[in-house]
Structure 1
Amino acid sequence: MSQLSRLIAILTLLKSKRLLTANELAKKFEVSVRTIYRDIRKLEEAGVPVTTIEGRGYSLMEGYSVAPVQFTEKQANALITAEQLINQSKDTSFVENFNEALTKIKSVFRTSIQEKSELLQSKIYVFNPTYENISSNALSEIQLAITNFNFIEINYCKVNDTNISFRRIEPYAIYSIQQKWILIAWCHLRNDYRAFRIDRIQHFNILNDTFEDRKFNLQDYFQSCPYN
């Protein structure tokens, strides 16, 4: 990450949270604390009113920017609650992209809303008594393939089956059940629609080639071929 990109990201983080330490920022961006000190000085030189609270960390001067969008406390609470639920997802790409988006959203919260949302965040916990701890890192890429009609090539391993099969598929829809993401796609090997657990995909490749939309309807699929 370039220094400019990091400076913009640090500013966004400072706008999304009332107080951040140099150690937190260094860990976030995988740089030294000394580098963070230099970054903070750069922001100050650029006219950003960064306030240093001795022994606690950095904050932005109250009223530094006027947010173009205002959130109510209930709306902010809904986002904080969604964050806790989404963090239970077994797909790391989905979690990372949501948290990055939420950081940008938090940056426009009023200070009073930030304070209450941070308080609520410390008082919410989602239990996940799962016994199959298999993760994935493909959901975000697959979502792009769905909306752009790109073919995907996958190596797939079914549950309780050690054999891995190669598939060329047309991705059409995704849904979640029991904290597992399921991809519905037209499988060229089977010449029919098939359901693939994303966490069972061993390897995937999003192709530049596009396919013609088969006008797949998720509700019709559920009625004719429910998940079991």
Structure 2
Amino acid sequence: MSQLSRLISILTLLKSKRLLTASELAKKFDVSIRTVYRDIRKLEEAGVPVTTIEGRGYSLMEGYSVAPVQFTEKQANALITAEHLINQSKDASFIKDFNEALTKIKSVFRTSIQEKSELLQSKIHIFNPTYENISSNALSEIQLAITNFNFIEINYCKANDTNVSFRKIEPCAMYSTQHKWILIAWCHLRQEYRSFRVDRIQHFKILQEKFEDRKFNLLTYFQSCPYREK
């Protein structure tokens, strides 16, 4: 990879990620850390406001904008394919937010890429033989609660149970399996981590009240506690 191509790639990465270390960049581009230092200086000399956070890495100054990137045909095809997969989700809020984001992304496609992506759009279909007609409209709000550490109050109905329970929870993480989104949260009723199917949350309220980060680790959770709906 030429230095110019690498500089453009580093700039794109800096724009897409809050913080990058020299070691991450060196590994990504298979260069030495000294080369990364030189690349960062080149960007700074070109007027790019790279902020160095001592002992942590590099980031871009807040509000700095980069000229629209150009997508290759394969990259555009990957987005179109992802659109079909996401549209299989049973959460209306997630589908809506993704499609709005994709519309913005498509706006920077070259005309030739746009035409081919529209052609591919009509030539992909995804079958779901294990269809279950249960939907939700909470995913996008719950994701915000996870990253902003907001408590959530939910009314929850377990499978094969007509009783609805009220829970106050600390949302920690999510995963998807068989087209269903699972929320892992600290449940104040049970005083432990519990798993909740998002499509079985009958009502929810995001509270302004914040909880303290418990440093939840998804991999550690899976290793110690297999999925059980609660």
Q: Which amino acid aligns with 2:221?
A: Y
Offset, 1:202: 0.4
Letter in 1 for 2:101: A
The percent identity for this pair of structures is 85
SS of equivalent residue, structure 1 residue 194: strand
What is the Cα deviation at residue 69 of structure 1? Answer: 1.2
Give TM-score, length-normalised by structure 2.
0.69
Counterpart Cα distance in 2 of 1:132 and 1:101: 27
| Equivalent in the alignment of 1:195 | 195
Q: Which gives a bigger RCO, structure 1 or 2 (Cα 8 Å, sep 6+)?
A: 1
1:93 aligned partner: 93
Code of the residue aligned with 1:91 in structure 2: it is: D
Q: Could you say which residue in structure 2 is the equivalent of 1:105? A: 105
Shift of 1:114: 0.3
Shift of 1:131: 3.7
In 2, the alpha carbon distance for the partners of 1:161 and 1:72 equals 50
Which secondary structure does the structure 2 equivalent of 1:174 belong to? Answer: strand
The amino acid of 1:218's aligned partner reads L
> Aligned equivalents of 1:135 and 1:174: distance in 2?
16
1:178-208 Cα offsets, whole Å, 9 max, x none, are: 0000000000000000000000000000000
Structure 2 runs not aligned, ≥5 long: 1-66
Return structure 1 stretches of 4+ with deviation > 4 angstroms: none
C-alpha distance after superposition, 1:110-154 (max 9, x if no partner): 000000000001100000112421000000000000000000000
Task: Give 2:64's aligned residue.
Answer: none
The Cα offsets for residues 202-227 of structure 1, whole Å up to 9 and x where unpaired, read as 00000000000111000000001112
1:14 aligned residue: none
* Aligned twin of 1:173: 173
Partner of 1:206: 206
Instruction: Write the mapping of 1:51-200 to structure 2, written as runs, cut at 5 A.
Output: 68-200=68-200
Partner deviation per Cα, 1:66-109 (whole Å, 9 max, x = no partner): x7210000000000000000000000000000000000000000
Match of 1:225 in 2: 225
Give, as a single letter, the amino acid of the residue that structure 2 aligns with 1:74: K
In structure 2, relative to structure 1, the CA distance for the partners of 1:209 and 1:138 (3 Å cut) is same
Partner Cα distance (2:68, 2:89) in 1: 31
Distance 1:221 1:70, change over 3 A: same
Number of residue pairs the alignment of both structures matches: 162
